[in-house]
Amino acid sequence: MSIWEYANPLKFMGWTAPLVPVLSVLAAVALSVGLIWGYFFTPDDYRMGASVKIIYIHVPSAMMAINAWAMMLVASLIWIVRRHHVSALAAKAAAPIGMVMTVIALITGAIWGQPMWGTWWAWDPRLTSFLILFLFYIGYMAMWAAIENPDTAADLTSVLCLVGSVFAILSRYAVNFWNQGLHQGASLSMDAEENVADVFWVPLLVAIAGFVLLFVALVLVRTRTEIRARRLHAIVARERMG
Amino acid sequence: MTSLLEVQDLTVQRGGVAVLAGVSLSLAEGEALILRGPNGSGKTTLLRTIAGLQPSSAGRISVVPEAIAYAAHADGVKSVLTVVENLRFWSGIYGAGGVEEALETFELEGLADRPAGALSAGQKRRLGLSRLLVTGRSIWVLDEPTVSLDRAAVAMFAGAVRAHLAAGGAALIATHIDLGLEARTFDVAPYKARAGSGEGEFDEAFL
Amino acid sequence: MIRLLLRDIVLAVRAGGGFGLGLAFFLIVTVLVPFGVGPEADLLSRIAPGILWVGALLSCLLSLDRIFQLDFEDGTLDLLATAPIPMEGVVAVKALAHWLTTGLPLVLAAPVFGVLLNLPGPGYVWLVASLALGTPALSMIGAFGAALTVGLKRGGLLLSLLVLPLYVPTLIYGTEVARRGAEGLDLGAPIALLAGITLAALALLPFAAAAAIRVNLR
């Protein structure tokens, strides 16, 4: 049996049903632990004070904003190549979540930036890139909403996602070129010297795990909803055929 | 007689819903086939599928590549171009000549330099049909070609089809009126797709 | 292919609004900006390259939905899809026709509008060069957006929403070339990047746009 068997809508509904509550509970636990630990049991930063603690929301949401788009790209490619309906629906389901993550990253960034840089918004490359990413999400979702035939919508949004990904990367570099920014370097990287201190690091990892679990759980729930909607659509269409 | 077009067990869909299933037909040189069926029975969908504009959900279409000339309700006539400019454009695209003959066949010589926007509906239709003659293609796939044509123009069109068949071409025509052609008819009504009637069905994965 | 190009140009010219409308819109944007930001020559000459680029971009956007919409409605696109030319070629030719009727007039008119905005002397050459190099990408990206939305009843707004974010890199490098040119700075990097984007768009987007059109026709 090939792995693609699991992509059959009925099978998918079957194996994801028990997964959703498990993932939801895990996400709730990881988020609670990460956030409570991060907020109440870590010292203030010597430079940034208590405002540094927004990192526990800002960094994971920013990561998920990008990862959600990457997941949509992979799902779109699978739809184009193998034409698994669930894949297209998963991409559709992930878009609003990614968009909300982008908004959270932008808002928490503004709240963090205000005391740090003295301004709510700066045309810093990272901030600008996220704003552009937000526009891409809006366009992608508008495209899904505008087209009635679900297969046509899946095809066109997949093409848009592919081209959009290329242009999102181009925009990222263009924006870097356009303005060298205020934003601090990446909070997480393989290079240890760049990393935030260990005290902040462990709860941050837990919070990130929480966001990932939350994202997966939400995508599953939304994909299941989309599958049910499609099923309803199919039943109604069949009734009409007689 | 060699067969130009062979359709086997074809299922066609519109808007993701199967409309016709198990359609088999064939078309040989010099042969015309008249498609009949009530409105909404899937004639247009079948013709578009055969013309390669939309994919079929099951079955096989075998046809010589680049042999089909398709014409539908919308003529693709540009109203700001003159009649002859419209025809020259398509003859240029297909790389075949015959603009003069096409004008003659559909009695458009007198209108040749008039902008297509100034034509009546029937004249515009004649222009749309005369495009078939400049494609140089052997299989005509026509969807309601006689809409808004008067009796004389219908006879003109029937003459053009007859000449095309005599020259070894073939035609697949969806129409409701009698063209006076010696042609077989093909009723699509018995092929109406029913739920649970076959494989490759719409959204079957979701049920 | 040449036939299609000529036909599209003739259609744009005869239908009116091809050259004229985009240029008039460009002029109006250029005139409105000083009303908005004030008449000081210093400020205007500093923002002139950016304003002219944004103005050109918006005028380009104005006529995008006409690239495929009319041909879709009157059935021409169906006929072209069954004609012996590849859809990729149709897309590329139509984008070229759009550029010749919209982009090229903007490029040629930009210096005149530059005068209105006190563009500094050395800036003119680079403004024209950057627009000449960048506007083909605008037309091609726009043709891709038009191909995605061709089947929709009111695709115009969605088209703008889809296309504008895709214009970001072109706009950034384009204005950078024009600005550095006006200030007499080194502009090798942005001009190479701008050319790169244009060439990549011309090479790859016809395939994506043709796929989108085929999906929309079925």
State the pLDDT confidence band at C130, using cuts at 50, 70 and 90: very high
Q: Which residues of A touch B18 (CB under 8 A)?
A: 241
Per-chain mean pLDDT for chain C: 89
* B174: β partners: B35, B143
Cα–Cα dist B23/B7, whole Å: 7
Rounded to two decimals, what is the model's pTM?
Answer: 0.89
CA proximity to C60, closest of C153, C151, C174, C212: C174
Beta carbons within 10 angstroms of residue A17's beta carbon = 11
Two tokens at B118? 């100034």
Beta strands per DSSP E along A88-159: none
On whether any CB of chain A is under 8 Å from the CB of C152, the answer is: yes
Our CA-based measurement puts residue B154 at a distance from the nearest CA of chain C, in whole angstroms, of 22
Cα–Cα dist C1/C97, whole Å: 11
Structural domain boundaries enclosing C187: 2-217
Q: Where are the domains of chain A?
A: 19-241
**For the purposes of burial, counting CB atoms within 10 Å of the CB of B19, is it exposed (0-12), middle (13-18) or buried (19 or more)?**
buried
pLDDT at A192: 43
**Which of A186-195, B26-35, B103-112, C207-216 has the weakest average pLDDT?**
A186-195
On whether any CB of chain B is under 8 Å from the CB of A5, the answer is: no
Largest CA distance in chain C: 57
Cα–Cα dist A152/A154, whole Å: 5
Instruction: Quick: pLDDT tens for C83-97.
Output: 888 999 999 999 999
Pairing of strands B139-143, B68-71: parallel
Q: Element (H or E) spanning A204, and its range?
A: helix A198-241
Q: Which residues of C touch A142 (CB under 8 A)?
A: 158, 161-162
pLDDT at A194: 46
Cα–Cα dist C19/C201, whole Å: 23
Backbone CA torsion sign across A83, A85, A87, A88: positive
Pairing of strands B17-28, B3-14: antiparallel
pLDDT at A182: 55
Q: Which of B17, B194, B206 lies closest to A230 in CB terms?
A: B206
- Residue that is written with structure tokens 């904003």 in the block: A65
Mutation target for A interface from B14, B204, B206: give the one with most A CBs within 10 A.
Answer: B206
- Residue that is written with structure tokens 């068949």 in the block: B165
On whether any CB of chain C is under 8 Å from the CB of B72, the answer is: yes
Backbone CA torsion sign across A174, A136, A165, C150: negative
C14 and B80 Cβ atoms separated by less than 8 Å: yes
Q: Which residues of A touch B195 (CB under 8 A)?
A: 238, 241-242
Q: Element (H or E) spanning B114, and its range?
A: none
Cα–Cα dist A201/C73, whole Å: 59
pLDDT at A64: 93
CA proximity to A174, closest of C159, C134, C181, C186: C134
pLDDT at C92: 94
Mean pLDDT, rounded, for C45-65: 90
**For the purposes of burial, counting CB atoms within 10 Å of the CB of A119, is it exposed (0-12), middle (13-18) or buried (19 or more)?**
exposed
State the pLDDT confidence band at B195, using cuts at 50, 70 and 90: low
Task: Show Cβ contacts of residue C68 under 8 Å, excluding neighbours closer than 6 positions.
Answer: C77, C94, C143, C146, C147, C150, C213
Two tokens at B173? 């025509």
CA proximity to A132, closest of A65, A63, A189: A65
Pairing of strands B139-143, B170-174: parallel
pLDDT at A122: 81
Two tokens at A14? 């079957």
On whether any CB of chain A is under 8 Å from the CB of B17, the answer is: yes
Going from the N-terminus, what domains does chain B have, and what CATH number goes with each? 30-57+66-186 (3.40.50.300)
Q: Which residues of B touch A83 (CB under 8 A)?
A: none
Mean pLDDT, rounded, for C61-70: 86
CA angle A223/C214/B202 to nearest 5° reads: 45
Task: Show Cβ contacts of residue C102 under 8 Å, excluding neighbours closer than 6 positions.
Answer: C18, C19, C22, C59, C60, C62, C63, C139
On whether any CB of chain C is under 8 Å from the CB of B76, the answer is: yes
Backbone CA torsion sign across C182, C185, C186, C189: negative
Two tokens at C172? 């950034």
Could you please report the per-residue DSSP string of A82-100? H--HHHHHHHHHHHHHHHH
Whether residue C136 is predicted with pLDDT greater than 90 in this model: the reply is yes
CA proximity to B77, closest of B60, B66, B89: B89
B102 and B87 Cβ atoms separated by less than 8 Å: yes
* Angle, helices A85-117/A9-16, rounded to nearest 10 degrees: 50
pLDDT at B73: 81
Two tokens at A54? 């927004």
Q: Amino acid identity, residue A11?
A: K
CA proximity to A129, closest of A165, A70, A169, A88: A169
User: HSE on the CB side for A162, CA within 13 Å?
Assistant: 23
Per-chain mean pLDDT for chain B: 83
A212 and A64 Cβ atoms separated by less than 8 Å: yes
Q: Which of C161, C176, C208 lies closest to A159 in CB terms?
A: C208
Cα A202 to Cα A50, A188, B156, B204, C74, distances in angstroms: 17, 11, 84, 48, 63
C142 and A113 Cβ atoms separated by less than 8 Å: no
ipTM for the predicted complex comes to 0.89
pLDDT at B204: 63
Our CA-based measurement puts residue C48 at a distance from the nearest CA of chain B, in whole angstroms, of 39
Dihedral over alpha carbons A71, A72, A74, A75 (to 10 degrees): 120
Q: Which of B48, B80, B94 lies closest to C83 in CB terms?
A: B94
- What's the domain count of chain C? 1
Instruction: Quick: pLDDT tens for B174-191.
Output: 888 877 777 788 888 888
On whether any CB of chain C is under 8 Å from the CB of A143, the answer is: yes
Instruction: Quick: pLDDT tens for B34-83.
Output: 888 888 888 888 999 988 888 888 888 888 878 888 888 888 888 888 88
Cα–Cα dist C49/C40, whole Å: 16
Maximum average pLDDT range among A29-33, B39-43, B162-166, C20-24:
A29-33
- Count of B-C CB contacts under 8 Å: 69
Our CA-based measurement puts residue C44 at a distance from the nearest CA of chain A, in whole angstroms, of 20
CA proximity to C114, closest of C53, C57, C174: C53
Q: Per-residue pLDDT for chain A (242 aa), expressed as one digit of tens each?
A: 577 777 788 888 888 889 999 999 999 999 999 888 888 887 776 666 677 788 889 999 999 999 999 999 999 999 999 888 889 999 999 999 999 999 999 999 888 888 878 888 888 888 888 999 999 999 999 999 998 888 889 999 999 999 999 999 998 888 888 876 556 655 554 444 445 666 778 888 999 999 999 999 999 999 999 999 988 888 887 777 66
Whether residue B201 is predicted with pLDDT greater than 60 in this model: the reply is no
* B70: β partners: B141
